[in-house]
Amino acid sequence: MILDSQTIDKLIRAGRIAKEVRELAIKYAKPGMKLLDLAEYVEKKIIELGGAPAFPVNISINEVAAHYTPVIDDELIIPEGSVVKIDIGVHIDGYIADTAATVSFNPAYDGLLEATQVALEKALEAVKPGIPVNRIGKIICETIESMGYKPIRNLSGHNIDHYMIHGGKSIPNYYDILTRWKLGDGVYAIEPFATTGIGLVREGSIITIYSLIKHKKTRMTLQEKRLFDKIWNERRTLPFTERWYAGLFKSKEGLRNTLASMLRKKIIYGYPVLIERSNGIVAQFEHTFIINGSDIIITTR
Ligand code: MN
Ligand code: MN
């Protein structure tokens, strides 16, 4: 299946916005800044530039690898000497760009960032139609290990579908013998994570990012249905944050109680924060690309 030109155009526009906002965010982030201010800055820029967030911006500090977005009234601050991952998603009519970069406020981790970035570049150089994704994983792993760090094995790149950030297939960050598929026409993200730790993440107890599970209206209270319909109409099953829906409720407690109830009823899914198991410092870089026939377009570079 070759992608049509309208689809390609939207993917490219989403990619251009994601790249621009990523670069702005990296410059904007500073120790002492509230994560909430950085998140609002990023998401506002995405909209100003004509896109919509494909997911709440993930701002993950030090040993937190992914899936933290600031909550309403979040007081967390970027610590002095920290390593900050900023993972940005942009969509235009459901056509998604997914990109991430890391900024280090401690020179001791410059090598960690370098290893991750070089791994991503080498992986992208190898991308071509028909390449087994395992070969990409092998390149990522060997690059990171040769520079003295470990890839995170239970995080991976992925294919991207319309309104779906994770399309169901993984591009591993190591040589995984169980992953056998090859790249063909489609949209993909490659995202090496490298760490000073053992190279595995665990799920933390905090959830700040959610998505609707499907469009079902059974067993919902009036409040739940109102929230569900609003999110479904805006973004289908793309992930969301409580920050975007505070206006629908009298208090943040009301919103949080509703989300907790919807989680229990499995109307929404929660993405726990992912933390390096040995509390190693984590870096991440990510690009999205399209394969279309013999063309390869890196949309976020
Ligand atoms: Mn991402
Ligand atoms: Mn991704």
Distance CA 33, CA 186 (A): 38
Instruction: State the CATH class of domain 204-273.
Output: mainly alpha
Ligand nearest to the CA of 190: 2
CATH number listed for the domain at residues 5-201+278-298: 3.90.230.10
C-alpha–C-alpha distance, residues 69 and 182, integer Å:
33
**Residue 253 C-alpha to ligand 2 middle, in angstroms?**
31
Q: How far is the CA of 281 from the centre of ligand 1 (A)?
A: 18
DSSP, collapsed to helix, strand or coil, labels residue 276 as strand
**Per-residue confidence (pLDDT) for residue 100, from 0 to 100:** 99
Q: Does 204-273 match 5-201+278-298 at the fold level?
A: no
The rounded percent of the chain whose pLDDT value lies above 70 is 98
pTM listed for this prediction: 0.97
- Per-residue pLDDT, 183: 98
pLDDT over 90 for what percent of the chain? Answer: 97
Distance from residue 221's CA to the centre of ligand 1 (Å): 33
> Tens of pLDDT along 216-246?
666 899 999 999 999 999 999 999 999 999 9
Ligand of minimum distance to the alpha carbon of 54? 1
At residue 3, the pLDDT reads 85
Q: Which amino acid is at 149?
A: Y
Q: Where are the domains of the chain?
A: 5-201+278-298, 204-273
Q: Which ligand is nearest to the CA of 166?
A: 2
CA of 220 to the centre of ligand 2 (A): 31
Neighbours of 19 (CB within 10 A): 21
Catalytic residues: 87, 98, 158, 166, 191, 286
Taking all residues of the chain, what is their mean pLDDT, rounded to a whole number? Answer: 97
CA–CA separation, 141 and 80 (whole Å): 29
**Cα 4 to ligand 1 centroid, rounded to whole Å:** 24
Residue 211: the pLDDT is 98
pLDDT level of residue 2 (50, 70, 90 thresholds): confident
